[in-house]
Every structure is written in C-alpha cells, then in structure tokens.
Structure 1
Amino acid sequence: MDFTILSIIMLAIGIYGLLTNRQLLKVFISIEMIAIAASLNFVMLATPNGLSEALMILAFSVDTAVSAVILALLVIVSKRYGTGDLSKIISKQENEESEDEAQ
C-alpha cells in the first residue's frame, strides 16, 4: 500500500511540474517522473507469471527509448533557438513563420 501512495505522489508531482514549468529540461524531468510512477505501478502489481514480467520489461524499454528521443530533441531545439525557455522558443518560431509569410 505504501508504494501506491508513493506512485500517486510521484504522479502528482510530475503533472504539477509539467503544467507549471517553462524550461525544457524541467518539463522533461516532469515527464520522467510520470513515467517512473507508471513503472512503479508495474513493479508493484507484478505477479510471478511470465506475462507481468514481460510487460515490465516492455515498459522499461519503451520509457528508455522515449527518454533518448526526448533528450535528442531537447539538444536540437536548444541549438536551433539558443534557449531552453518554452515561451522564448514559441515567440522565435512565430517570428520565423511571420517572416516566411512576408516573403
């Protein structure tokens, strides 16, 4: 029962961080908190049969792959726009689009 409460708390922290942060890295950490809370539920609800263990391995591998893709996108966006702030990235993108429409 303690792990259920821990999982719910981690999920709540992740959602709060996702809704309130504007930095790309902090948003990524919030997404990871949500994924860890889901993985903790998989571990907690695992039964001794092979299906639940296979689902746990699948969940961990998918989470790792998603993390790698997100980190790669963070690096690309940071290099292209020169910042990690979402509001600045959005304003720079809108400026680029308005310049493209003007041409």
Structure 2
Amino acid sequence: MVILAVTLAGCNAQAQDEIARAAARSTTSKVLAQRLPGVPLQPAVNCVIDNASSQQILALAADSVTGPTESTFQIVSGIIQKPETLTCLAAEGLPALLR
C-alpha cells in the first residue's frame, strides 16, 4: 500500500489514474479468474473497471499490493451487479465467450 501511495504521489492526475487502473485491472483479473473460471477475462475486466467508481478503483489498486481479500471479492461483485456493467458484459463478454 505504501509503495502504491509513493508511486502515485509523484505523478500527475492522469498518470495516477492510469497507474491505479492498471493495478485495479490486475486485482480484478485475479478475482474473476478465481470466481468465474471460463469467463473471457479481458472483456470482463474492462467492463468491471469501466464501471467502477474512483473509490472502488483505488481500493482494488491497493489490493494489488496485498492480494485479493474478501473485501476485494465484494467490491468486484458489487460492480458486476450494476446494470451498466451487466449491459457491458452482455455486449462484450458474451460474444467473446461464444467465439
């Protein structure tokens, strides 16, 4: 967590967002692979990250340092349940699954 905070502190806002999103993607990928095996990861991760709040992104990014916890799973689950995430998964995730 300290490493992430130090890294983010030395960056401008856009770079901070990109670093946090990349770290959040890593964590989300691990959660989805563990909890939803067989789901095409890249489209699903994109849908989750694109529909996460900034607070959720930061929480997921912090968990990239320590590894996923039960809280991580709850955050990802909450994002997946949003109507806009479900719409994204239907549009992006299902076609990838059917290929």
Into which bin does the TM-score normalised by the smaller protein fall? 0.3 to 0.5
Query: Using CA pairs below 8 Å that are at least 6 residues apart, which structure has the higher relative contact order?
Result: 2
Relative to the length of structure 1, the TM-score reads: 0.32
The structure that is helix-richer by fraction is 1
Relative to the length of structure 2, the TM-score reads: 0.33
